[in-house]
Amino acid sequence: SLQDVIPDRAAPNGSAQQLPQTIIIGVRKGGTRALLEMLSLHPDVAAAENEVHFFDWEEHYSQGLGWYLSQMPFSAPHQLTVEKTPAYFTSPKVPARVHGMNPGIRLLLILRDPSERVLSDYTQVFYNHVQKRKPYPSIEEFLVRDGRLNVDYKALNRSLYHLHMQNWLRFFPLRRIHIVDGDRLIRDPFPEIQKVERFLRLSPQINASNFYFNKTKGFYCLRDGGRDRCLHESKGRAHPQVDPRLLNKLHEYFHEPNKKFFELVGRTFDWH
C-alpha cells in the first residue's frame, strides 16, 4: 500500500518545516492561546500546536536549531510559521537567543491588565493542583505577608512588564515587537487581529465573520469554514474574589511600573 512506500515523516507535496518567522513570546495568561488560534484562521499561517519551550529550557536549547525545526509544523513555502511559548517574555536569557537565531524576526507580545494577569496566573496554578487533587492555598496567602503586599510572590514579578520589556529592547527595536492588547482581544478580537495581520504583512484574509460571541462561554469563539469552536474550558475561567482593599493595593503596586512600561513602548493601555 501507499503507507509502505511513503517514509515516516514524509511531507505533503512541496511542504517543509520552517523555523518560525514570528513568535508569540508571552505574556503568560495574556491570551496567548487565543491569539495563536485566531491567527491560525489565516491560510498563510502554520502554527506549532504545543508550547515549544526551546529558548528557555536548557534541555531543549542545548539540542540546537535542528531540534527546534523538528518541532515545527509542515508548511508551504509562502506560509509563515509561528510558535507560542508564554514563558519567553519573562526569561532573561531568551532575547539574546532569539536574536541569535534571527535578528529580523517579528515578535508578538500580548499583554493584559497586570493585576488581572496575577489573578489569572493564580487561577491557573490553583486548577493545576485541583486536577492532581492537591490542596492549594488561597490567593490571599500569596498576596499578603505581615499585613503588606507580598512583593516576592512570583506572579507579581511576571506582571512587571517594563522589566521584561527592557531585556527585549536590548536586542530588538520596538518596531519588531507588536503588542496585542489582551483586554481588547477578549472584548472585540477582530480589530486586534487585523493589526496583527498588518504587522506580519499578511494579506487581510481574516474576517469579522470568523468571530462570534458565545453567551454560554462568555467569550468570543471562532467560526472557520462553517466549523464553530471555542477555546478549551481552561481558557476564560472565573477568578477568585479578592478583598477590594487588597485589590486596590495591587493596582497601586503596578501604577509606577505601568507608567514606566508606557514610556518604554510609547503607548498607553487601559489598565487599573
Instruction: List contacts with ligand A3P (CB under 6 A).
Output: 29-34, 86, 120, 123, 185-186, 219-220, 231, 235-237
Using CA atoms of 36, 77, 178, 71 in order, give the dihedral in degrees to the nearest 10. 50
Residue 260 cell numbers, joined:
514606566
Nearest distance in Å: CB 122, ligand A3P: 9
Nearest distance in Å: CB 120, ligand A3P: 3
Host H or E run for residue 221: strand 219-224
**Rounded distance between C-alpha atoms, residue 194 and residue 179, angstroms:** 13
Locate the DSSP E strands across 9-129. Answer: 16-17, 22-26, 45-47, 74-75, 80-84, 106-111
Nearest distance in Å: CB 242, ligand A3P: 13
Nearest distance in Å: CB 86, ligand A3P: 5
Nearest distance in Å: CB 235, ligand A3P: 4
In sequence order, what are the residues at sequence separation of 6 or more whose Cβ sits closer than 8 angstroms to the Cβ of residue 90? 26, 27, 28, 157, 158, 164
Judged by CB, which is closer to ligand A3P: 29, or 106? Answer: 29
Judged by CB, which is closer to ligand A3P: 78, or 227? Answer: 227
Judged by CB, which is closer to ligand A3P: 64, or 240? Answer: 240
Judged by CB, which is closer to ligand A3P: 64, or 218? Answer: 218
Judged by CB, which is closer to ligand A3P: 67, or 219? Answer: 219
Residue tagged 490542596 (cell numbers)? 135
Nearest distance in Å: CB 104, ligand A3P: 25
Judged by CB, which is closer to ligand A3P: 8, or 270? Answer: 270
Whose CA is closest to 94, among 130, 58, 127?
58
Residue 135 cell numbers, joined:
490542596
